[in-house]
Chains A and B, each alone.
Chain A
Amino acid sequence: MLNTSTSDAPLVKMVDIHKQFGGVHAVEDVSIDLYPGEVVGVLGHNGAGKSCLMRILSGAMTPTSGDIYVNGDPAQLNSPQDARNYGIETIYQTLALANHLDAPANLFMGRELKTRFGNLDEPRMLDEATKALRQLNPNFKNLRDPVVRLSGGQRQVIAIARAIYFQAKVLIMDEPTAALGPSETAMVSDLIVKLKSEGIGIFLISHDMHDVFELCDRVMVMNKGKNVGAFDINDVNKDDILSLIIKGTLPDGWRPRGDNQ
């Protein structure tokens, strides 16, 4: 199953993660790992627990039980700050932008650059933000506008730049293309390929089967909080995955399809 792995320890390993809200089991004993330069798709319908699992990894939620290992060492992710310190960055589906602030303020939110005297270093933040944003979108203008006035694509670019600017090792992308047009979607796909080649591990949450099969190396499907199947992308086809997402089981008589290709 882990034919893309190297002999190194996985970037991230989540073992027997369990999350309970009152009587509801949002995530039940799910284990997953991620190796450098790998894209792992986390799939499932709404409420299957995939966002919950990813929120646990990004430190926004603490698991009821279960262990998380980063580079082989046990890690406590009690806050988003903890996760960021481990190089785990998240691009949230909601983008998590402060609408009244401008692009540099959003990019450096929580990690503001400061001068020697501890004041905010606005010119340097604007400079760095300009570089980071132009890298993703050369036409990015209006950097000093409140982000509420920017287009959906520009807002997405800020959210992505915020994650990759700080040398992420693990990137969680929660439906990064849901709000984007075709050309911007292609930009995100290219970016994922580029980041992958730089050795960054990516968890990709997506509903778009085309994206999943184009970008992912492995997939894990969740259904009702459980892991109902983790496969090398070559061993499954679209129908297998849809069956897992909807029914929670593989079609009858399924055999790994990688052998046939």
Chain B
Amino acid sequence: MSDVAKKSRIQFLPTGSSLHKLSALLTLGLLIFVFSFTSPAFFSVNNGLTILLQTSVIGLLAIGMTMVIITGGIDLSVGSVLALAGVVAGLLIKAGLPVFPAMVLGTFAGALCGFVNGLVVTKMRITPFVTTLGMMLVARGIALQLTGAAPISRLGEAFGTLGNGSFFRIVEMQANGFPKVVFPGIPYPAVLLLVMAVLGAFLLKKRQIGRHIFSVGSNEEAARLSGVNVDRTKIWAYTASGALAGLAGMVLMSRLVTVQPNEGVMYELDAIAASVIGGASLMGGVGSISGSMIGAFIIGVLRNGLNMAGTSAFIQMIIIGVVVIGAVYIDQIRNRN
């Protein structure tokens, strides 16, 4: 008994999805292994860092998405909110605001969209699917209307720092006068993703709000009867998702050094796929940030590996679609046992 208790104390919470997480991790390893053979350039430091950079946007979206999915909801608006947040930041910079406060306000605009989602879901009692579908159109419409559907460019070099900068970048001058990149550095977006993922996992596992998110998703009525403020918990989750979508927008637009109001279409589906592959249940009550990060990287590695192997974008869609269905199927088998 005592060693059983000790063993179960290590895995921290009630998700019971450690098995699923392990299989997802094995899948990730398998993918990396296979792609190493299909393309010689795949298994290299440079490409690894590229994958980190490419996955950070989906990863950021997946953190917020996971929280919303655990409450039993869904957020279809993150792709559009990402674009709107970018547009807000871009317009503010054009209006003369420095880059950093503009980005903060852009992220805040994302949070505001999420907050409205939360209000509509809880106070107007409209299902999350319909609410966030509406927000998806509204946010995209505002982003296109504000910009006339044209990209905002010439935002200055500082705007590109977040998306293109990196830590520990080592460049040395060669004898012939050309610089040689010894180590391309760890991209800022990857570090930001790590910080946000750790923060998200901490909130979910160690704080009351996280416990309430699980309670609400597991049994909303029970949570309400136990004195959990269900509405506040849901609003919190949607706001977090919106804020992270805004932050992801900053990263993406900064990487392009241009604000594209039609960026991020269908990103919500990648984020949902990442969460579900990582073991989150669309019925609510189950999920984890670590799992969703593995899910995000499975999608990132799949995209990158297939690209490097020369697979067309259309085939990639088919493969990722099949992977999502497979992941949900495995989840169902797990639940049946």
- The residues in A between 124 and 174 inclusive whose CB is less than 8 angstroms from any CB of B are 126, 141, 143-146, 162
CB nearest neighbor in A for B70:
A100
Q: Is the CB of A100 within 8 A of B222?
A: no
Choose from B211, B224, B225, B227 the contact partner of A105 (Cβ within 8 Å).
B211
CB nearest neighbor in B for A120:
B206
| Interface residue A255 (Cβ < 8 Å from any Cβ of B) | no
**CB contact under 8 A between A98 and B207, given known A109-B226, A110-B228:** no
**Cα distance, A115 to B230, chains bound together (Å):** 23
Taking chain A's interface residues, is the majority helix, strand, or loop, or is none over half, making it mixed? loop
| Interface residue A97 (Cβ < 8 Å from any Cβ of B) | yes
* 0 or 1 for each of A30-63: is its CB under 8 Å from B? (1 = yes): 0000000000000000000000000000101000
Residues of B within 8 A of A60 (CB): 224-225
**CB contact under 8 A between A90 and B16, given known A100-B285, A105-B211, A144-B8:** no
Q: Which of B1, B206, B222, B228 has the most CB of A within 10 A?
A: B222
Place the interface of chain A in its size category. 20 to 34
Q: Is the CB of B285 within 8 A of A99?
A: yes
Residues of B within 8 A of A94 (CB): 221-222
Taking chain B's interface residues, is the majority helix, strand, or loop, or is none over half, making it mixed? helix
Q: Is the CB of A98 within 8 A of B218?
A: yes
Residues of B within 8 A of A80 (CB): 224-227
Residues of B within 8 A of A101 (CB): 14, 211, 214-215, 218, 285
Q: Is the CB of A112 within 8 A of B225?
A: no
Q: Which of A95, A114, A146 has the most CB of B within 10 A?
A: A146
**Cα distance, A144 to B5, chains bound together (Å):** 8
Residues of A within 8 A of B205 (CB): 120
**CB contact under 8 A between A120 and B14, given known A80-B225, A98-B218, A111-B227:** no
Residues of A within 8 A of B217 (CB): 100
Choose from B5, B12, B14, B223 the contact partner of A110 (Cβ within 8 Å).
B223
Interface size on B, residues (CB 8 A): 32
Residues of B within 8 A of A111 (CB): 226-227
Q: Is the CB of B219 within 8 A of A84?
A: no
CB nearest neighbor in B for A130:
B5
- Least distance between A52 CB and chain B CB atoms (Å): 15
| Interface residue B125 (Cβ < 8 Å from any Cβ of A) | no
CB nearest neighbor in B for A81:
B227
| Interface residue A178 (Cβ < 8 Å from any Cβ of B) | no
Residues of A within 8 A of B214 (CB): 98, 100-101, 105
Residues of A within 8 A of B111 (CB): none
Q: Is the CB of A84 within 8 A of B5?
A: no
Residues of B within 8 A of A182 (CB): none
Q: Is the CB of A146 within 8 A of B14?
A: yes
- Least distance between A77 CB and chain B CB atoms (Å): 12
- Least distance between A217 CB and chain B CB atoms (Å): 27
| Interface residue A28 (Cβ < 8 Å from any Cβ of B) | no
Choose from A58, A100, A145 the contact partner of B218 (Cβ within 8 Å).
A100
Residues of B within 8 A of A98 (CB): 214-215, 218-219, 222-223, 285
Residues of A within 8 A of B224 (CB): 60, 80
Residue ranges of A at the interface with B (Cβ–Cβ < 8 Å): 58, 60, 79-81, 84, 90, 92, 94-102, 105, 109-112, 114, 118-120, 122, 126, 141, 143-146, 162
The 15 sampled A-B contact pairs (Cβ below 8 Å) are A80-B224, A80-B225, A80-B227, A81-B227, A96-B219, A98-B214, A98-B223, A99-B218, A101-B211, A102-B14, A110-B228, A111-B226, A112-B211, A118-B208, A120-B207
A98-B218, A109-B211, A118-B207 known; 4 new pairs, CB 8 Å cut-off, are: A95-B222, A98-B215, A98-B219, A109-B223
Residue ranges of B at the interface with A (Cβ–Cβ < 8 Å): 1, 4-5, 8-9, 12-16, 205-208, 210-212, 214-215, 217-219, 221-228, 285-286
